[in-house]
Amino acid sequence: MGVLWTADDPMTAAEVHQALGGDLAYNTVQTVLFRLHDKKSVERHRAGRGHAYWPARDAAAAAASQMKETLADRPDRHTVLQLFAESLDRSDAELLSRLLAGAERRRRP
What are 45's strand-pairing partners? 52
From first to last of its 109 residues, what are the pLDDT tens digits of the chain? 999 999 999 999 999 999 999 789 999 999 999 999 999 999 999 999 999 999 999 999 999 999 999 999 899 999 999 999 999 999 999 999 999 999 988 988 7
Please count the other Cβ atoms lying within 10 Å of the Cβ belonging to residue 34: 15
Give residue 61's Cα distance to chain centre: 6
Same domain, 77 and 44: no
Same domain, 44 and 77: no
Quote the domain boundaries for residue 24. Answer: 2-55
Backbone angles phi, psi at 53, to 5 degrees: -115, 150
Angle at 77 between CA 76 and CA 83, to 5 degrees: 95
We report the CATH number of the domain holding residue 6 as 1.10.10.10
Same domain, 13 and 40: yes
pLDDT of residue 108: 84
pTM (2 decimals)? Answer: 0.76
Same domain, 7 and 45: yes
The pLDDT tens digits of the residues spanning 24-43 come to 999 999 999 999 999 999 99
Q: Is the residue at 64 inside a domain?
A: no
Q: Is the residue at 30 inside a domain?
A: yes
Are the C-beta atoms of 10 and 47 separated by less than 8 Å? yes
Q: Is the residue at 65 inside a domain?
A: no
Q: How many domains does the chain have?
A: 2
Please count the other Cβ atoms lying within 10 Å of the Cβ belonging to residue 29: 21
Q: Is the residue at 85 inside a domain?
A: yes
pLDDT of residue 85: 94
The residue type of 61 is: A
pLDDT of residue 23: 86
